[in-house]
Amino acid sequence: MRPTERAGTDARAAVVCGLGAWLPPTVVTNDDLARRLDTSDEWIRTRTGIRARHVASPGMPTSHLAAEAGARALESAGVHDVDMVVLATTTPDRPCPATAPVVATRLGLTGRPAFDVSAVCTGFLYALATGAGMITSGAVETVLVVGSEVYSTILDPADRSSSVIFGDGAGAVVLRAGHRSEDGAVGRSELGSDGSLADLITVRAGGSEQRSSGAPALPADRYFSMWGKEVFAHAVTRMAEATRAALAGAGWHAADLDRLIGHQANVRILHALGEYLDIPRERLVIHLDQIGNTAAASIPLALAYAQSTGELAPGARVALTAFGGGATWGATTLTWPALKTV
């Protein structure tokens, strides 16, 4: 029977079959930051839950981290090849061209379609939905979906409010064609955006808006900026709404969930999200204490962490949700598959 002829719960679906992660070796603790900024370990820990973050070395762009994570995901899946590469990032190697073709070539996948997805901290869920959609349409059989960020290159080193929050890293999954009834089948994606909130999380300079103004960019406009309090409020409500919709699509209730993997922005955001959804704290995956907010890499890094600690066991019911610049948000569900840890 051809996949499209299968009915009901056994319809064609994209199934997670590999998982990989990579963090640059250099670790910067809160105390390290407090030595050069007017901040403290106590402030950072109590306001964000973050204790440390990994930082890429000079000469280590987003493609490097992405290729490391992608290679591990391919190894976890037991494959050397995929039909397509989708990379979610806010920090591409260059404004032009996209970074995904560079990653594909580093992985020995020259010739395969490869492109970037830009949705800031929601990027991985947008890329996952894109890859899954290409599989369910029948266009491809396998996709490597990567989230990779080197935020340290866009942070103002003198800005204590953003420097303490973000970290560098990359995570990736391999998707293959399968069926909706299988463990690992990616559920319906609930994605959204609101461009009226574009100023909440932004790098103002470097794009056509600033260049077309004819005025030179102000130094501060080359760096990342964020309205933290407003982002906090939108993040909680949008992730809660998206998660509720994704759960409804899967026919699950919040009480059915074994783990909620929210975008690792701030532990207080994750706790508030749990309270909104009536999900107890022990079912929230918290990884940000060790790595900070890694934007588009945050969800796959949290998946790899939770798999390594045994929090994600085969058969666990999982919801993924994120909020990020744009503004963008999204959520999806899956039942955790048995995966080889690399």
Residues annotated as catalytic (active site), given as ranges? 121, 263, 293
Q: State how far the Cα of 235 lies from the Cα of 255, in Å rounded to an integer.
A: 22
Question: Any contact of residue 231 with ligand COA (CB under 6 A)?
Answer: yes
The angle, 0 to 180 degrees and rounded to 10, between the axes of the packed helices 298-309 and 123-136 is 80
Partners of 152 in the β-ladder = none
Instruction: Tell me how far CA of residue 270 lies from CA of 201, 235, 240, 279, in angstroms.
Output: 19, 9, 10, 10
Pairing of the two strands 27-29 and 52-54: antiparallel
Amino acid at 139: A
Question: Any contact of residue 266 with ligand COA (CB under 6 A)?
Answer: yes
Question: Any contact of residue 228 with ligand COA (CB under 6 A)?
Answer: yes
Q: State how far the Cα of 30 lies from the Cα of 35, in Å rounded to an integer.
A: 9
| Contact residue for ligand COA among 32, 41, 43, 188 (CB under 6 A) | 43
| Contact residue for ligand COA among 6, 45, 47, 106 (CB under 6 A) | 47
Question: Any contact of residue 146 with ligand COA (CB under 6 A)?
Answer: no
Helix (H) or strand (E) holding 53: strand 52-54
| Contact residue for ligand COA among 66, 165, 177, 186 (CB under 6 A) | 165
Helix (H) or strand (E) holding 20: strand 12-22
Instruction: Please choose, out of 17-25, 63-71, 88-96, 229-237, the segment that lies near ligand COA by the rule CB under 6 A.
Output: 229-237
Question: Any contact of residue 235 with ligand COA (CB under 6 A)?
Answer: yes
Instruction: Please choose, out of 70-78, 96-104, 157-165, 250-258, the segment that lies near ligand COA by the rule CB under 6 A.
Output: 157-165
Report how far apart the first and last C-alpha atoms of the chain are (Å, whole number). 34
Q: State how far the Cα of 112 lies from the Cα of 201, in Å rounded to an integer.
A: 32
Question: Any contact of residue 161 with ligand COA (CB under 6 A)?
Answer: yes
Question: Any contact of residue 121 with ligand COA (CB under 6 A)?
Answer: yes
Closer by beta carbon to ligand COA, 90 or else 142: 90
| Contact residue for ligand COA among 246, 265, 272, 285 (CB under 6 A) | 265
Instruction: Please choose, out of 39-47, 63-71, 105-113, 125-133, the segment that lies near ligand COA by the rule CB under 6 A.
Output: 39-47
Instruction: Tell me how far CA of residue 191 lies from CA of 88, 124, 125, 183, 186, in angstroms.
Output: 15, 11, 8, 22, 14
Q: Are 26 and 55 in contact (CB under 8 A)?
A: yes
| Contact residue for ligand COA among 232, 252, 258, 276 (CB under 6 A) | 232
**327 preceded by cis ω (within 30°)?**
yes
Closer by beta carbon to ligand COA, 145 or else 165: 165
Q: Are 180 and 136 in contact (CB under 8 A)?
A: no
Count of residues in contact with ligand COA, rule CB under 6 A: 22
Partners of 27 in the β-ladder = 54
Nearest position to ligand COA, beta carbon: 228
| Contact residue for ligand COA among 29, 39, 153, 290 (CB under 6 A) | 39
Question: Any contact of residue 321 with ligand COA (CB under 6 A)?
Answer: no
Instruction: Please choose, out of 13-21, 61-69, 140-148, 223-231, the segment that lies near ligand COA by the rule CB under 6 A.
Output: 223-231
- In the numeric block, the tokens 């909706």 are attached to 180
Question: Any contact of residue 91 with ligand COA (CB under 6 A)?
Answer: no
- In the numeric block, the tokens 């994600």 are attached to 312
Closer by beta carbon to ligand COA, 201 or else 277: 201
DSSP 57: P
In the complex, the residues that contact ligand COA under the rule CB under 6 A are: 39, 43-44, 47-48, 121, 160-161, 164-165, 201, 226, 228-229, 231-232, 235, 265-266, 293, 323-324
